[in-house]
Structure 1
Amino acid sequence: MRLKIAAAAFGAIMLCGGVARAEDPKAFRLTIDGVTVDIDPGQDIEVTLPGGKTSKVRLEHNDFATFSGGTFSFVHPGNYSVTKTDLGDGIAQYLMASALGTLVVVQKYDKMNPVSLNQLMLQEMTRETVQAGGHLRQQPTTRKLADGKDLTGLKATVKTRTDSADFEIVGFGTADQGLLFITRIGDQDNATEQPLIDKFWETLKVNL
């Protein structure tokens, strides 16, 4: 049962990470005095309001935004979005992914404590690389949040001849519910991507 859950959750991570928004549709819909227009961040458009008055509007991202999933929250760059996927059986997944493949994943379990899934999730996420000859090194880890909560799990690095990727998988739960947190970053992307991971861990709050 646990292996099936981990495999299904990993499949959802890979599927969601590969989804790209079509180029033509706009990202947002803005309504002013009953007039609705589609707009992208950074775009200037003119809107004709009721009565004939024309106004110029512009939509911009804030530098940072807070995402809340009810039992958890974290701060992320304003130009990133978090997608939610219902995995069934009381499991919801929240994914934030960069164009370079850096991942921040939160899985919310409403019917079980997922802390024991750390090892299975790592195996699923690194299986193909290891089968292709990659070397996996892992160690137990504990991460203390700003509010004092301790998350337990593991850190791992999977290396191939040409590159490597670092994973951290930790969880927190009670008797019948919990949260699993997963991050992935490639070693070649540390200079630009590490701040994204750091901001997540620095601002993560758990409300269980």
Structure 2
Amino acid sequence: MKTSLKITFSLLILFFTKAHSQEDYTIEINGESFEISLDKEFQFQTKDGVKNILLKQKDTLTYNDEMFSFNFFKEYKVGKTKIEQGIEQLMLMTPEGDGFLIQKYSTINPENLKELMLGEVTKESINYGFEMERREYNHKLTSGEDLNVIQAYLTYNDEVNIYEIASVGKKDSGLLIMAMRMNDTKNSIGEKLINLIWNSLEIK
């Protein structure tokens, strides 16, 4: 089962998914197509005169999956990859290395994989010299599930790494969830992104 837990720093860098550029779009008006960009105004001539049109994106977007949904900031995109047969991984990361990861299982129940995940993501730091304080708390989702969350609070001199791991599942499917913070700075963009996802996460 170790192949399902390939959570290394190189993987985190690989799936760093902050959006750096706008996408072009095509809008069709009365059968005529126009190329437009986000946040860039263009003019359209109508019988009533020139109309100014501006395409804007909402500050908060929603990711929908057949098993779950969550909200995230528009500046980020969801990185998605297939780890192995029956295991799909989604990830959002900030430039500082904070982020949120969801592994979706379609052949096994991952509820008992929390400890294995915890060991995988903390072993290198502990070998380096980080001290780990383990905590647990319950987080109730908006969809009603009450998740048990394991938190690993790692410290080394003035460095702080925080990992939070939870799981939910049934007989042959489920989710393994992890939030990652590379500091404990209050109101950082990483904390805001993670809180937004945690507080909007719904299990279907």
| 1:197 match | 194
Going from structure 1 to structure 2, the CA distance change for 1:11 and 1:70 (only over 3 Å counts) comes to farther
Residue 84 of structure 2 corresponds to residue 85 of structure 1: no
Residue 196 of structure 2 corresponds to residue 206 of structure 1: no
Amino acid at match of 1:65: L
Query: Separation in 1 of the partners of 2:129 and 2:188?
Result: 28
Q: Superposed, which structure 2 residues align to 1:105-184 within 5 Å? A: 105-184=101-180
Normalised by the length of structure 1, the TM-score is 0.80
Going from structure 1 to structure 2, the CA distance change for 1:200 and 1:26 (only over 3 Å counts) comes to closer
| 2:2 match | 3
Structure 1 vs Structure 2: percent identity of aligned residues?
23
Query: Separation in 2 of the partners of 1:114 and 1:95?
Result: 17
* Counterpart selection for 2:94 from 93, 98, 103: 98
Q: CA RMSD in A?
A: 2.9
Going from structure 1 to structure 2, the CA distance change for 1:124 and 1:84 (only over 3 Å counts) comes to same
Give the deviation of 1:96 after TM superposition. Answer: 1.5
Structure (1 or 2) with the greater helix fraction? 1
Decide which moves more: 169-178 or 96-105.
96-105
**Helix, strand or coil: the match of 2:187?**
helix
**Helix, strand or coil: the match of 1:44?**
coil
Whether contact under 8 Å (2:130, 2:156) holds in the other structure is yes
Query: Separation in 2 of the partners of 1:98 and 1:128?
Result: 21
Whether contact under 8 Å (1:139, 1:156) holds in the other structure is yes
Query: Separation in 1 of the partners of 2:133 and 2:82?
Result: 31
Whether contact under 8 Å (2:18, 2:76) holds in the other structure is no
Q: Superposed, which structure 2 residues align to 1:29-108 within 5 Å? A: 29-33=25-29, 35=33, 37=35, 39-40=37-38, 43-44=39-40, 46=42, 57-108=53-104
Query: Separation in 1 of the partners of 2:80 and 2:127?
Result: 30
Normalised by the length of structure 2, the TM-score is 0.81
Residue segments in structure 1 that go unaligned for 5+ positions in a row = none
**Helix, strand or coil: the match of 1:124?**
helix
Give the deviation of 1:156 after TM superposition. Answer: 0.8
Give the deviation of 1:57 after TM superposition. Answer: 4.2
Instruction: Report the number of matched residues.
Output: 200
Query: Separation in 1 of the partners of 2:183 and 2:138?
Result: 22
Whether contact under 8 Å (1:165, 1:186) holds in the other structure is yes
| 1:16 match | 15
Residue segments in structure 2 that go unaligned for 5+ positions in a row = none
1:49-93, Cα deviation, whole Å (9 max, x unpaired): 9xxx98754332212222112110112223332222122211111
Amino acid at match of 1:73: S
Query: Separation in 2 of the partners of 1:155 and 1:198?
Result: 14
Decide which moves more: 65-74 or 181-190.
181-190
